[in-house]
Structure 1
């Protein structure tokens, strides 16, 4: 895909977002009314002292504005450079909050001292319930996360008020989102989404990311990083300050990073740009525009099985001309460095290039003393693929039930040839969340509407591979195999259009002079999906599905005294079926059909979450303890089936119910002799409530899964952080313990528990010319160089042959895993200017 195409998309989305928004006209109208009778130009708005601001009522209604309005600021604040105040609780791992549900957060005090290349998921790893996995030191190959046993695709992620999850399968790619230097706060609500959260996949909690605002005076920030595995990274941000005699201020930033794979062949190369423009004119009125652009080219790490991990560990480089494996060996845990003809495991056939552009315009307008309008229009664009390869005879290509010859540029090679076969995805996703908030005395009423229309084109063409195993087209969109009927050969070929209409209403009542707060709300989610499957001989070419779901919430918060408060909340959440459940795809065989078969009747996954919690907050200590309970119905589940011929295929079903109970706790302090400790803890008891259906050959049966522990749900997690900072010297140590996790519903395979430890040390030098806060720091990750499996990528019903409820023997299937990143040393020089 050409750079001109990306540039034109960026230009169009910025112009359409800013110029076509009705809020621009509204802002002009409001400004004109306030300026009536005045001939002077507007002056930059003065900053209101925190003590003079009217505190927002704590609520579950949520907000789509880009600022952390509900975070209380206490005591004297300072800037030690890069937004670090040296005062935040737990070294930046806690913030005071009055939310009537569980909420944790990391702030600049913590973020500014970490490896600057870390992605947002990695920054959350110490918080209660956050089970975070990464596969490389810089977080450039992504990562995974579960909270209270629910994975990131069951949670909602937002940046500046707009949704980050993929609209098709709800996956989150944290390496693409935002540079850590521009992050102000990353907030984790472990239990449920807010009323105005723009998500159709959050059966669990949400992660909300907020970018810093442009500075009021001209300046910026730069840093340079070098580390293990030839890791290099540079970042620069320029803040304009107030532009002329206006309220406008902006920043523009750019970063570039590269690293080699720490095991096996491959590398990552990332280019990333961001901008944010803010216009605020006092009394809470504000317009902002944030744009993020990301271009990433990398090679993937393979997922591994237990057999591969036990045999090969972190893997070996194959010898020239051979895979290095003999008959009966499990696969290598790395891709091949040297190409072997006819072998699809060569690393250059496994790239993962992607380009993303995000734009969001969260804005707030005070229409009257009692009425506030908040509007967040956004646009999301993505284009890229996940690589793969396939060996076949091009004179006998499959076109559904037909067998046809294929050619590349008019030529048909003889015999089996290796073809590059990536999964291409292109997404256009505009939307907006609008809400009106009316406040009168002790009552706060909010009414809003979220609308989104997305178009996602997903294909998987076959294209040419050179004699040395290198795909001729990295993106897979040229040099394709064309069949004799003129059609491009495809593994999948779909178009999904999704419309979301979600009205919501909430009311918050403050009683007993603000000590008691009652919240209640309801949103009604209407989702319409229109799909077209362009593959031949499919069960259903055109798919129309409609989902309707009412999602009520309620909460109570009571302030016992100045320091103690308790809260109770209940919320209904849901997660839509993934779009790939709508389509047949894959390879075609007579008697079976496609290897992946559609189930458009799959129902949404529903969860009801309940929380009861207590908080203590004073000038030195902040702490919280929360008991939680979940009840799930219609869990989304992928099932592998086998017919009497031994042919296998997969489909998507509703896998019954699940419930979980647990306790989250955290405590942190402000500086005490320059030291700020932090501790978090979770106990989780998650249980499968249904016997899952399985098949083997012509046999259909059920497995004894009811009452067993749910996969990917560690019973215990402990996080510990210790921060020392005297204003010049600083150091930190953190530790995360995660207990064992089952990878099958039958609990017959698991990954052991592990401990991961990290250290950071640094020193702030005196001002040097234009450099206000020159700082050097060293981050040491996984200091014990622990080698372990950190994530269950693919769960199974059973890993070993097992007898079903009806007495049939059901063969086991191998779960797949990801290997955690190793020890790495990362050195950074940085400064504000």
Structure 2
């Protein structure tokens, strides 16, 4: 490890002493020449840490992959996707500086073309891969910790990832691609760029379809269809952009396992491939674990650039529908509720369950004295689950449970910057959004559990039906001034967030919470030490509004002693150095973050101090947690020997809990937060040939709150090869491109993300070849 650190320091020392012409920060040749595509990106000149993907990172990522995978090589970022090509939202986790996105936490902002994604959680959220194909992405920008003041997210405690779509080409072009790979992976992509259809107006339409089998076992898989339309019109001082995307995905999931289970068999996540006819065993049949999601997202953006005034206004609309599936090995007995005309019961409560019936369909109990049990899964099942404990002719029963998610969002962002002089700019803006999330759970009877998991269309029980309405208003103002080589900025913003919970069965009283922030301050400075080197420092107070899952958890608690909740906050400090010339781009950033008001669920008797007012059996969410993070992030991109590029990134992070509450102990390291990451990439470009090898090492991490489970370190490698046939080498065809991508080249078995104490196995090796034509 010392050799790695010394090597990294030597590389950065070289970067700081290199001399050459200064390179452009961002350049794209796509709109100037439809056959030549190049993206050169370094960190933007800001007062906070930020990094962006470059062309090499896009080439290293197969087109079939999730766009999330493109940012995994950047400093400070840890992306873990349990499914091949990121094909399972359930097992996708993201970590930045001790903040996480996963099944249990949503602490990182995510935007598409600068517009909010509507949160990233599994139940009704939508990560960036639901909005964008790789071929349609120009780049992804990561603001670690201190993000731009206008960033429209109330989850951005640990920063924001902004995924930017590319514009239509100036020339007419048709693009068709086909990919095939391991695990029966197939993908088709087409895109038509219109060229200029009206004065300074161009558009494109694209469509893709892909499917693949699960990489673990022999059953289950995923399929996805995606379509996008974008139009851009530039008229005098105005630029108008419209974009529409549709995404329809059906995914079978991967399951979390314990550290001991991984040590016993690192190739299996304990989901099964065949129907045994025993519902207790078949509850872990992979095709019964499903995620279904459909997303529509549309926006219109108007941008005006005048002599002294810049204005951007962008209204948007998002419609999300989804379902999460599981097959419980029993039928529920329901009391109360309202019976519908089709026989379904709405509401009521579960008073019992049964697992077998007699031939007439009447529930029966196991034979008295039978002690036969099942050893799999989940530590085994009781005699009530074992067919050996029932008379001959008894029939198993089971449920197919749907958790249904729906969300509609409508909103607008507006930003105005007025240049008082060449050295002073005032900026102000707002973000408004109204969101209505609908969630309900239905239970369906399996038709014949002895042969499959097919189920009756009409549910026998609708367990609950709720709407969560969120109204958000964020306002901000900022002043930026330059004094010679020094640029300073200061700003303030505030969130006003109203959250309402409505029980559509009328069983529970409606609940409401306000999640308004205090005034949040930002400040920063950049000093241009030389023509090639900037020194920067920044501070921001980040905010995360109360989630609707919190109001759901508090709805049943009426104890008047429970204090009001406040939104979570994080104070972020960045300081660092950036260097850029024609051959070398490098950045080193140090940071310190204090995360306060962490919302944690506590129960009576769990050891949390100051909650004596909770009665036995009661629990609630409280602001009783905190995290402190500090570390260093560094990156280097160096061109050498005309045709080669070396890229490296380094992350050293320490994140600790600052308060003892529930399972959390003050001083312990944050569960699942990487402490050391190192990336090294060597790539080659010449005469249409490209190739590269990239490796990423992730050090040991604590996996649980108690810091008793130390997850092993791991190193993975990605390989890519490609060749582009010379332009017009074949009449009628502009270019032909061949590529081969191999992710996790050595087929390394490792534990990726998860939740504290249970973890997903990282995706295995996947090779995929692609053939692309551009006409």
TM bin (shorter chain): 0.7 to 0.9
Q: Is the 8 A contact 2:596 2:627 kept in 1?
A: yes
Displacement, 1:493?
2.3
Secondary structure at the aligned position of 1:548 is classed as coil
Q: Structure 1's 75 and 818: CA in aligned 2 closer, same or farther, altered over 3 A?
A: closer
Secondary structure at the aligned position of 2:287 is classed as helix
Q: Structure 1's 516 and 258: CA in aligned 2 closer, same or farther, altered over 3 A?
A: same
Secondary structure at the aligned position of 1:762 is classed as strand
Residues 387-424 of structure 1, C-alpha deviations (whole Å, 9 max, x = no match): 123344554457688667999xxxx9532731211211
1: distance between equivalents of 2:656 and 2:336?
43
Displacement, 1:574?
1.2
Which of the residues 807, 813, 818 maps onto 2:760?
Answer: 818
Q: Is the 8 A contact 1:397 1:405 kept in 2?
A: no
Which of the residues 631, 638, 661 maps onto 2:594?
Answer: 631
Q: Structure 1's 125 and 405: CA in aligned 2 closer, same or farther, altered over 3 A?
A: closer
Q: Structure 1's 651 and 234: CA in aligned 2 closer, same or farther, altered over 3 A?
A: farther
Which of the residues 287, 297, 302 maps onto 1:358?
Answer: 297
Residues 783-805 of structure 1, C-alpha deviations (whole Å, 9 max, x = no match): 111111111x221xxxxxxxxxx
Q: Structure 1's 615 and 260: CA in aligned 2 closer, same or farther, altered over 3 A?
A: same
1: distance between equivalents of 2:116 and 2:769?
33
Q: Structure 1's 648 and 461: CA in aligned 2 closer, same or farther, altered over 3 A?
A: farther
Displacement, 1:544?
3.9
Displacement, 1:735?
0.7
Counterpart in the other structure of 1:507: 479
Residues 625-663 of structure 1, C-alpha deviations (whole Å, 9 max, x = no match): 11100001112334577799xx98875443422211101
Aligned ranges for residues 390-409 of structure 1 at < 5 Å? 390-397=328-335
Counterpart in the other structure of 1:430: 410
Secondary structure at the aligned position of 2:46 is classed as coil
Which of the residues 502, 517, 532 maps onto 2:487?
Answer: 517
Aligned ranges for residues 394-793 of structure 1 at < 5 Å? 394-397=332-335, 413-415=361-363, 417-441=397-421, 442-467=423-448, 468-472=451-455, 478-482=457-461, 489-490=462-463, 492-512=464-484, 515-534=485-504, 538=508, 540-584=509-553, 601-639=564-602, 651-670=620-639, 672-693=641-662, 705-766=665-726, 767-791=729-753, 793=754
Counterpart in the other structure of 2:288: 349
1: distance between equivalents of 2:574 and 2:59?
32
Q: Is the 8 A contact 1:71 1:97 kept in 2?
A: no
Displacement, 1:576?
1.8
2: distance between equivalents of 1:133 and 1:82?
33
Residues 538-586 of structure 1, C-alpha deviations (whole Å, 9 max, x = no match): 5x54334342332210110110120111011000001122211112599
Q: Is the 8 A contact 2:315 2:412 kept in 1?
A: yes
2: distance between equivalents of 1:548 and 1:391?
45
TM-score (norm 1): 0.77
Q: Structure 1's 133 and 403: CA in aligned 2 closer, same or farther, altered over 3 A?
A: closer
2: distance between equivalents of 1:600 and 1:537?
24
2: distance between equivalents of 1:565 and 1:133?
33
Which of the residues 125, 130, 147 maps onto 2:96?
Answer: 147
1: distance between equivalents of 2:495 and 2:415?
16
Residues 579-626 of structure 1, C-alpha deviations (whole Å, 9 max, x = no match): 11112599xxxxxx89xxx98944321100001111111111111111
Q: Structure 1's 107 and 228: CA in aligned 2 closer, same or farther, altered over 3 A?
A: same
Secondary structure at the aligned position of 1:203 is classed as coil
Aligned ranges for residues 194-213 of structure 1 at < 5 Å? 194-213=148-167
Residues 296-350 of structure 1, C-alpha deviations (whole Å, 9 max, x = no match): 11211112122332334323xxxxxxxxxxxxxxxx6223421433322233321
Secondary structure at the aligned position of 1:353 is classed as strand
Q: Is the 8 A contact 2:409 2:433 kept in 1?
A: yes
Q: Structure 1's 778 and 606: CA in aligned 2 closer, same or farther, altered over 3 A?
A: same
Secondary structure at the aligned position of 1:200 is classed as coil
Displacement, 1:256?
0.3
Q: Is the 8 A contact 1:239 1:250 kept in 2?
A: yes
Q: Structure 1's 830 and 347: CA in aligned 2 closer, same or farther, altered over 3 A?
A: same
Which of the residues 227, 233, 238 maps onto 2:181?
Answer: 227
Q: Structure 1's 208 and 175: CA in aligned 2 closer, same or farther, altered over 3 A?
A: closer
1: distance between equivalents of 2:307 and 2:410?
32
Secondary structure at the aligned position of 2:69 is classed as helix
TM-score (norm 2): 0.82
Q: Is the 8 A contact 1:393 1:414 kept in 2?
A: no
Q: Is the 8 A contact 1:287 1:364 kept in 2?
A: yes
Residues 135-185 of structure 1, C-alpha deviations (whole Å, 9 max, x = no match): 133222132211112113211111112111438779553432210000001
Residues 733-790 of structure 1, C-alpha deviations (whole Å, 9 max, x = no match): 1011111111222211131111010110111223322322211111111111111111
2: distance between equivalents of 1:463 and 1:583?
24
- Is residue 327 of structure 2 the alignment partner of residue 389 of structure 1? yes
- Is residue 46 of structure 2 the alignment partner of residue 99 of structure 1? yes
Residues 494-537 of structure 1, C-alpha deviations (whole Å, 9 max, x = no match): 1111101111111111221xx21111111110000111134676
Aligned ranges for residues 313-392 of structure 1 at < 5 Å? 313-315=266-268, 333-343=270-280, 344-366=283-305, 368-392=306-330
Q: Is the 8 A contact 1:160 1:362 kept in 2?
A: no
Aligned ranges for residues 221-370 of structure 1 at < 5 Å? 221-244=175-198, 246-264=199-217, 265-283=219-237, 285-315=238-268, 333-343=270-280, 344-366=283-305, 368-370=306-308
Q: Is the 8 A contact 2:331 2:445 kept in 1?
A: no
Q: Which runs of 5+ in 1 are unaligned?
A: 1-69, 89-93, 316-331, 483-488, 587-592, 695-702, 796-814
2: distance between equivalents of 1:525 and 1:717?
34
Displacement, 1:268?
0.5
Structure with a larger share of its residues in strand = 2
2: distance between equivalents of 1:79 and 1:130?
32
Q: Relative to structure 2, which stretch is displaced further, 521-530 or 389-398?
A: 389-398
Secondary structure at the aligned position of 2:328 is classed as strand
Q: Structure 1's 443 and 519: CA in aligned 2 closer, same or farther, altered over 3 A?
A: same
Displacement, 1:691?
1.3
Q: Structure 1's 353 and 172: CA in aligned 2 closer, same or farther, altered over 3 A?
A: closer
Secondary structure at the aligned position of 2:397 is classed as strand
Q: Structure 1's 156 and 194: CA in aligned 2 closer, same or farther, altered over 3 A?
A: same
Q: Structure 1's 235 and 74: CA in aligned 2 closer, same or farther, altered over 3 A?
A: closer
Counterpart in the other structure of 1:323: none
Task: Please provide the CA RMSD for this pair.
Answer: 3.0
Q: Is the 8 A contact 2:270 2:284 kept in 1?
A: no
